[in-house]
């Protein structure tokens, strides 16, 4: 658990000069806590976003597969588009293929 600022002794205050390289050894406990908290939040949100995009891609691909089973050409064409887009969305979210922003 992170101690409160009142528990720190006077040698750990921000009056001490910080190194310019920003290494973890020179950060105060509050600064290190803030960096770790932001990094953890970013990692969790990134993982949830990836799972959400993969889920949306799977749903789109399954809807497209259901439309492919129809006998008429228009729903079958829409189904092909949905399957391709859903597969692309899921695979690019997992970084198995490059996203469109790297193509341009």
What average pLDDT score do residues 39-65 get?
A: 96
CA-to-CA dists, residue 71 to 11, 34, 65, 82, angstroms: 78, 58, 13, 17
Q: Give me the pLDDT at residue 21, please.
A: 64
More confident: 2 or 69? 69
Q: Which of 23, 26, 29, 24 is nearest to 7 (CA)?
A: 29
* Cβ within 8 Å of residue 20, ≥6 positions away: none
Q: Give me the pLDDT at residue 24, please.
A: 61
* Reported pTM: 0.67
- Contact status, residue 66 vs residue 60, Cβ threshold 8 Å: no
- Longest CA–CA span in the chain (Å) reads 78
Q: For residue 22, which phi and psi values (nearest 5 degrees)?
A: 70, 30
What average pLDDT score do residues 81-101 get?
A: 94
């Amino acid at each position: 658990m992170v101690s409160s600022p009142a528990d720190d002794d006077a040698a750990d205050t921000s009056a001490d000069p910080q190194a310019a390289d920003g290494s973890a050894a020179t950060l105060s406990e509050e600064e290190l806590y803030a960096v770790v908290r932001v990094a953890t939040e970013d990692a969790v949100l990134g993982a949830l976003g990836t799972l959400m995009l993969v889920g949306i891609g799977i749903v789109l691909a399954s809807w497209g597969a259901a439309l492919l089973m129809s006998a008429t050409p228009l729903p079958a064409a829409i189904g092909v588009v949905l399957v391709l887009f859903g597969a692309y969305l899921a695979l690019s979210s997992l970084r198995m293929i490059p996203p469109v922003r790297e193509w341009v």
